[in-house]
C-alpha cells in the first residue's frame, strides 16, 4: 500500500519508518527542509533507540522517502496520516492546533481524488469532525474526502516496538462514511491484526477520548503513588516497598507506580491540561477537576527535591555546588520538554546554587532550552566538588553508580535519589547521606 505521513517528529517519523517496515511505500512530509534532508539521508533528528536502523533499512529498500512538497504528497497516495505536534498553548491549558489546521488547509485543496486522512496526533475531542468538515469544504474531491482518527499510544524510548507491536489499534470513523477508512487501515495493519493485536472500531469522539483518557489514567497512577509517597515521608514508611506490595494485586499492577520526581515530557503534562480545558468548554469541567490535583502533586515533587537539597546543604543553596544527573524527562530519550530534571536544576539555580547538569543524550537539547545552566560532559565532571548529587533521570549509567565511584570527587557525600533507583542501604553503608522521595 501507499501512504503519506505529515509531520516527522517523534510520532510521525516513527510511524513513517514503521509503515515502511511493514512493507508499504511511504512518503514522510514536513515543512522543515532541514529535518527532511536529515531523514532522507537516514539520520534521525532525535534520539530514539532502534529507529535509525529501521529508517536506513527502508530507505535503502526504496520504500521510504521524505519531502517538503504537499503537491507531491497529494499525488503520491490516497491515504494520508496526520502526525504533527499539538503542544500546549502559551500561557493557557488548551492544545495549540495550528499545525494540524495548517496541514488540512494546505493538503485539502490538493485532493482531487477520493482520500482518507487519518489523524494520529492527540487532539481535543471534537477536532476530527471539525477537520473532516473543513477538508471537504476545501477539497476539489469534496464529499469524497474523509477524516478518521487512529490515536497513537507510543512511548518515547520504545517508539519502534510500540508501533510494530501495539497493545491495541483504535480507529474512529465518521458514521456517515462507514467502510473506506476501516478497509484501508485493516489492510495497512494486516500483519499486526494477524498477530492478534485487537482492532477496535469506534466513532470519532470515542477514538479521540481513548487517547487522552489513557494518558490521564497513567498520569493519575503516577500522582497517586507520589501522593502516597508524601504520606510515607511523614511516617517513615518506604514507598518503593509499598508499591511492590500494591503491584501484586492484579487489579492495580506494578507498572507506573514508580514514585519520584514524577511525569514530564511532551505528552502527559500537556495532555491532562488540554483535557481539562476541553472538558470545561464542553461544560463537563467538574468531571476532571481531579486532574488539577494530579498536576499539583506532580509539580510538588519537584519542589520537594529542591527542599531536600536545601536541607542537605545546611538550609541554603546559595553558593552550593549541585550535581544534577539527568536532563531528559525520562531515560532512553533526549526529550527535555517539561523535564522534571531541568525544572529542578533551574529552581536550584534561582536559589543561588551552582548547578552542573550531565545527561548521556539530552545535553544539546538542554542547552537550547536552558542556556544558563552549566553542563558537564561526564558524571565525574558534574560531581566535581559537589555538595550534593541529585539523580533526576534513571539512566542505566546512573543506576550502575556505586558509592566508591563518586566518593573522591564530591565535597560532601550527599545523594538525593529523585527516581528511587539506587540502593539506600548500600549508599548509607558507604558513609553517604542518602535521601529518596517517599523513603528513608
Ligand atoms: C506517554 C504514554 O505512556 C504514551 O502511551 C503516550 O502515547 C505518550 O505519553 P511518554 O511521554 O513517552 O509516553 O513517557 P512515559 O513512559 O509514559 O513516561 C512519562 C513520564 O512519567 C516520564 O517523565 C516518567 O519518568 C514518568 N513516570 C513513569 C514516573 O514518574 N513513574 C512511573 O512509574 C512511570
Q: Write the DSSP symbol of residue 230.
A: H
Ligand 1 atom closest to the CA of 158, numbered from 1: 12
Write phi, then psi, for 345 (nearest 5 degrees).
Answer: -60, -45
Cβ 256 under 6 angstroms from ligand 1 = yes
Q: Which residue spans of the chain are classified as CATH 3.40.50.720?
A: 2-197, 228-436
CATH architecture designation of domain 228-436 = 3-Layer(aba) Sandwich (3.40)
Name which residue sits closest to atom 19 of ligand 1, judged by CA: 263
pLDDT score, position 261: 98
pLDDT by residue (tens digit) across 97-139?
A: 999 999 999 999 999 999 999 999 999 999 999 999 999 999 9
Distance 407 CA to ligand 1 centre (A): 32
Cβ 265 under 6 angstroms from ligand 1 = yes
pLDDT by residue (tens digit) across 49-61?
A: 999 999 999 999 9
Cβ 398 under 6 angstroms from ligand 1 = no
Interface pTM (ipTM) of the complex?
A: 0.95
pLDDT score, position 440: 72
The gap from C-alpha 14 to its chain's centroid, in whole angstroms, comes to 13
Cβ 335 under 6 angstroms from ligand 1 = no
Distance 201 CA to ligand 1 centre (A): 26
Alpha-carbon distance 117 to 82, whole Å? 7
pLDDT score, position 304: 97
Cβ 421 under 6 angstroms from ligand 1 = no
pLDDT along the chain (440 residues), means of 10: 97 98 98 97 95 98 98 98 94 94 98 98 96 98 98 96 98 94 98 98 98 98 98 97 98 98 96 96 96 98 97 97 98 96 98 98 96 96 98 98 96 98 97 93
Name which residue sits closest to atom 15 of ligand 1, judged by CA: 155
Would you tell me how many other CB atoms lie within 10 Å of the CB of residue 290?
14
Name which residue sits closest to atom 2 of ligand 1, judged by CA: 155
Name which residue sits closest to atom 3 of ligand 1, judged by CA: 155
Name which residue sits closest to atom 22 of ligand 1, judged by CA: 263
Distance 49 CA to ligand 1 centre (A): 16
The gap from C-alpha 68 to its chain's centroid, in whole angstroms, comes to 25
pLDDT score, position 81: 98
- Determine the straight-line distance between the first and last CA of the chain, rounded to whole angstroms: 56
To 5 degrees, how large is the angle CA 20–CA 22–CA 23?
Answer: 65
Mutate to test the pocket of ligand 1, among 214, 222, 223, 302 (most ligand atoms within 8 A of CB): 222
Helix (H, G, I), strand (E, B) or coil at 160: helix
Query: Cell for 184?
Result: 484501508
Place of cell 546543604: 313
- Highest CATH level, class, for 2-197: alpha beta
pLDDT score, position 333: 95
Cα distances (Å, whole numbers) of residue 414 to 313, 386, 406, 437: 9, 9, 10, 14
Amino acid at each position: 500500500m501507499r501512504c503519506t505521513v505529515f509531520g516527522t517528529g517523534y510520532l510521525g517519523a516513527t510511524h513513517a519508518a514503521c509503515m515502511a517496515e511493514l512493507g508499504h511505500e511511504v512518503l514522510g512530509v514536513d515543512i522543515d527542509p532541514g529535518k527532511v534532508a536529515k531523514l532522507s539521508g537516514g539520520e534521525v533528528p532525535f534520539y530514539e533507540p532502534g529507529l535509525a536502523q529501521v529508517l536506513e533499512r527502508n530507505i535503502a529498500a526504496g520504500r521510504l522517502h521524505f519531502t517538503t512538497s504537499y503537491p507531491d504528497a497529494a499525488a503520491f497516495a490516497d491515504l494520508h496520516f496526520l502526525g504533527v505536534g499539538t503542544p500546549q498553548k502559551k500561557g493557557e491549558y488548551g492544545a495549540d492546533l495550528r499545525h494540524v489546521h495548517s496541514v488540512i488547509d494546505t493538503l485539502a485543496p490538493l485532493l482531487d481524488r477520493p482520500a482518507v486522512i487519518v489523524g494520529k496526533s492527540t487532539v481535543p475531542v471534537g477536532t476530527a469532525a471539525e477537520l473532516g468538515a473543513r477538508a471537504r469544504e476545501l477539497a476539489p474531491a469534496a464529499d469524497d474526502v474523509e477524516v478518521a482518527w487512529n490515536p497513537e499510544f507510543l512511548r518515547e524510548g520504545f517508539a519502534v516496538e510500540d508501533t510494530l507491536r501495539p497493545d491495541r489499534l483504535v480507529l474512529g470513523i465518521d458514521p456517515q462514511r462507514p467502510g473506506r477508512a476501516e478497509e484501508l487501515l485493516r489492510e495497512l495493519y494486516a500483519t499486526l491484526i494477524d498477530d492478534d493485536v485487537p482492532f477496535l472500531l469506534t466513532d470519532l469522539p470515542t477514538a479521540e477520548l481513548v487517547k487522552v483518557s489513557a494518558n490521564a489514567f497513567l498520569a493519575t497512577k503516577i500522582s497517586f503513588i507520589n501522593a502516597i509517597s508524601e504520606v510515607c515521608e511523614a511516617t517513615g514508611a518506604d514507598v518503593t516497598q509499598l508499591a511492590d506490595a500494591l503491584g501484586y494485586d492484579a487489579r492495580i499492577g506494578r507498572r507506573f507506580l514508580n514514585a519520584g520526581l514524577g511525569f514530564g515530557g511532551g505528552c502527559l503534562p500537556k495532555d491532562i491540561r488540554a483535557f481539562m480545558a476541553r472538558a470545561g468548554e464542553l461544560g463537563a469541567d467538574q468531571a476532571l477537576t481531579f486532574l488539577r490535583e494530579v498536576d499539583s502533586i506532580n509539580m510538588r515533587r519537584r519542589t520537594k527535591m529542591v527542599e531536600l537539597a536545601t536541607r542537605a546543604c545546611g538550609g541554603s543553596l546559595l553558593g552550593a555546588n549541585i550535581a544534577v544527573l539527568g536532563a531528559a524527562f525520562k531515560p532512553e530519550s533526549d526529550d527535555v520538554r517539561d523535564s522534571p530534571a531541568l525544572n529542578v536544576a533551574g529552581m536550584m539555580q534561582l536559589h543561588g546554587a551552582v548547578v552542573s547538569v550531565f545527561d548521556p543524550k539530552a545535553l544539546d537539547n538542554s542547552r537550547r532550552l536552558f542556556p544558563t545552566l552549566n553542563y558537564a560532559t561526564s558524571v565525574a565532571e558534574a560531581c566535581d566538588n559537589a555538595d550534593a548529587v541529585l539523580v533526576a533521570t534513571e539512566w542505566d549509567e546512573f543506576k550502575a553508580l556505586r558509592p566508591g565511584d563518586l566518593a573522591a570527587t564530591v565535597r560532601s557525600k550527599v545523594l538525593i535519589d529523585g527516581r528511587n533507583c539506587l540502593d539506600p542501604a548500600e549508599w548509607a553503608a558507604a558513609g553517604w547521606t542518602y535521601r529518596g522521595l517517599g523513603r528513608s
